[in-house]
Amino acid sequence: MTPPEARSLYQKIGIASLIMMASVFLSRAIGLVREMVIAWAGGADAPVDAYQIAFILPEVLNHIVASGFLSVVFIPIFSRYLAENRETEGWRVLSIILTGFGALLLVLIAISQWFAPELVGVLAPGITDPKIKADAVHMTRIILPAQFFFFTGGMLSAVQFAKEKFAIAALAPLIYNLGIIFGGIVFYDQLGMAGFSWGVLAGAFLGNFAVQIWGARRVGMRFSLILNVTHPDFKKYILLTLPLMLGLTMTFSTEFFLKFFGSFLPEGRIAALNYSLRVMLILVAFFGQAVGVASFPFMARLAAEKKLAEMNRLLNDTLRYLALVIPFSVLFMVLRHEVILILFQRGRFDAAATALTADLLVFIMAGAVAFAAQTVVVRGFFAIQNTLFPALYGTLAVILSLPLYYFGMIYMGARGVALAVSAAAVIQVLMLYSIWNRRSRNAGYSAVAGFYAKIICLSAIMGIGLEAFRATVLSGINTTELAGSFLVCIIVGAIFSGLFIGAGYLLGISEIAGLFNRITGKLFAGSRATPLEKK
């Protein structure tokens, strides 16, 4: 039985998870609409390649100041002040960090603006067409200032999370994606793909900056310009973020290597790789990212209270829940052509672009579960304020994956790059989880591994059967048309659902019932514990 205090914790995580799941899912859904609009406007051609390349330098700046990790680094620092009833000093530390790192980022943005042509040439060396490179440089300069808004918004979201307020922070990605869509639709005829770039800047300002100032003020934020590099927590923040700045994370390396190696491939391959990656990330967001973000403040609290056994239990239960990504990844592989046609085939995105992107989706989907699991595993380290290990071993995993990218590109083209993305993700999450288990003495990892083995076997059998069924029984349905693709998706999806749930009960995999209960709104339920929680 779950103790009462643990049930209360899980109920809080459940509420937070539902908020973040709704936000992340809506963000990914709107992000998918964004990609659909981009596909409609630019297809899978050179202008979209230039647009994607324009994000490389901004992403490098984002990585340098560890913007993607602001919440997980700052929340434990700020939470300590809240626990000690020293909130005023917590706001002072926020001001010091925002002033110091904000000034540094503005200087880096100015330097990057000046040297943009040279830097883009280094970061995408395979681009030889002067027009594509000129467009990429132009859009890079538009997008660069958005990194200041991402950094500031990340800090302001962190204080809201620390106060266990999620709703306003959850609006940031929604507004950001809506800004991109608006910019593209309104300005594409006059500006081409640069219209989407202006939408990036506007969406970042509104969603990640202006709205988050409002949200932070609602939880009591007090800010003033303070430059104090000698403050102990400023030094601590630097020590915590330095490994993240120097290390290569899964998210950054994926985006960077996809475009770096993709620049050597024929025109349109970067665009097709990006479309397939965004479809995969929809699945990751729904299952992994929301739960990871929402559970982190509670993991940090358990770590602060030295309740490592309870923290391991939370981590292991969450990883078993994320095993659902595996069968759904297989379903997307089976329905690859239909999914891409339904989502993207309109405007300049033709049948050839659909065939190319659908082919790559199979290889990208192979790593979906690793991307989902990584969002949780890495937060275990951050909760105990250990940023060195995930940065160190994450970087090692990235280095080990470099030959996969290179030889994959040489011998398999875009397929090889997609396969390397998945392999790198698997290598990194296995390495991090193994290190975590040893350091935390996590005795429950074997049960997690056993459950994943069962789900992988079940999913493989289902995938082979569904692929054969689709290729034979459903071969008469015209899937070059939208209606036919929808029909195949409905039939295969219905059979998949019945097989998965039925096989779970017939084979005695009791966790499946618990996992599906969570999907239907009983995430981390306490009063009505699932079979997973009763273990």
DSSP-H helix ranges across 219-350: 232-246, 250-262, 269-284, 290-304, 308-322, 325-334, 336-344
Write the CA distances from 38 to 135, 155, 195, 282, 475, integer angstroms: 16, 30, 10, 17, 31
Rounded to whole angstroms, the Cα distance separating 414 from 363 reads 10
- Residue with more model confidence, 88 or 37: 37
Q: What is the pLDDT of residue 248?
A: 67
Structural domain boundaries in the chain = 1-17+248-526, 46-228
What would the two tokens of residue 8 be? 């209360």
Residue 9 confidence (pLDDT) = 47
Residue 46 has pLDDT above 80, yes or no: yes
CA distance 153 to 421: 28
What secondary structure letter does DSSP report for 43?
T
**CB distance 174 to 230 below 8 Å:** no
Q: Look-up: residue for tokens 């204080």?
A: 159
Which one, of 219, 206, 140, 216, lies nearest residue 173 by Cα? Answer: 206
Torsion, Cα of 41, 45, 49, 50 (10° steps) = -70
- Over residues 184-214, the pLDDT tens digits come to 999 998 999 999 999 999 999 999 999 999 9
Rounded to two decimals, what is the model's pTM?
A: 0.81
**CB-CB contact of 431 with 393 (8 Å):** yes
Residue 73: band (very low, low, confident or very high) from pLDDT cuts 50, 70, 90: confident
Mind listing the pLDDT tens digit for each residue in 326-373?
999 999 999 999 999 999 999 899 999 999 999 999 999 999 999 988
CB 79, CB 163: distance < 8 Å: no
Of the segments 114-128, 391-405, 508-522, which one has the largest average pLDDT value? 114-128
Range with the poorest average pLDDT among 283-292, 444-453, 496-505, 518-527: 518-527
The pLDDT of residue 526 is above 50:
no
Residue linked to tokens 């965004």: 278
Q: Is the pLDDT of residue 463 over 50?
A: yes
Q: How confident is the model over 471-505, as pLDDT tens digits? A: 999 988 998 889 999 999 999 999 998 888 787 77
Categorize the per-residue pLDDT at 462 as very low, low, confident or very high, splitting at 50, 70 and 90: very high
The 10s digit of each residue's pLDDT in 414-442 is 999 999 999 999 998 898 888 888 887 88
Rounded CA-CA distance 77/80 in Å is 5
Measure the CA–CA gap between 78 and 484, rounded to whole angstroms: 54
pLDDT at 106: 93
Work out the average pLDDT over 142-159: 90
